[in-house]
Amino acid sequence: MKQLLQQYAAYNTWANKRIIEAANQLPGEQINKEIISSFPSIYKTMLHLMEVENAWWERLKLVEHPALSGWFTGNFEELSKKLLELSQQWHNWIRDANEVNITHVFAYQNSKKEHFKQPVYEMLLHLFNHQTFHRGQLVTMFRQLGLDKIPPTDFSVFSRKNK
């Protein structure tokens, strides 16, 4: 399990870097342009990616009231930097984790204040899958904004490049 999670964490960091590089091709005003999607702009979608990585980190670290949203007010460059720092933090944590850390069942509450318990590895698989879903939305948003040089962020591309 640890090997798979290490691979997913490395993939998550790699894919986030690629999606940020693609976003950086856009003029600044297009980063905040409203587009119909789950989140109404490139910035707000990237903000969601970052906030989710942060919220799960805080939950894992047993922060009583994790910061779910509204706490970050930086620009796109600062947002990108913070997202990559968090992604690397997950990668490092998994690298240093042992089987007990990965299988440990932890308790948390979601944004609706509902309480749950689950093994850390299930949360990690959810986190990485969630990020992939929203990166796919970003690709669609990039296309709507006329971006035609979008790097592939598929896990298979990552796997072939990192063998």
Q: At what angle do helices 76-96 and 2-23 cross, to 10 degrees?
A: 170
pLDDT of residue 5 exceeding 80: yes
Q: Let me know: does 149 contact 30? Beta carbons within 8 Å.
A: no
In the predicted model, what is the mean pLDDT of residues 1-26? Answer: 96
- The confidence score (pLDDT) of residue 53 equals 96
pLDDT band at 45 (very low <50, low <70, confident <90, very high): very high
Assign domain 2-161 to its CATH superfamily: dinb family like domain (1.20.120.450)
pLDDT band at 112 (very low <50, low <70, confident <90, very high): confident
Lookup: tokens for 141: 């948003």
- The confidence score (pLDDT) of residue 32 equals 95
In the predicted model, what is the mean pLDDT of residues 147-151? Answer: 92
Torsion of CA 36, 41, 45, 46, to 10 degrees: 160
How far apart are the C-alpha atoms of 95 and 107, rounded to whole Å? 22
Q: Let me know: does 13 contact 87? Beta carbons within 8 Å.
A: yes
Lookup: tokens for 155: 């896990």
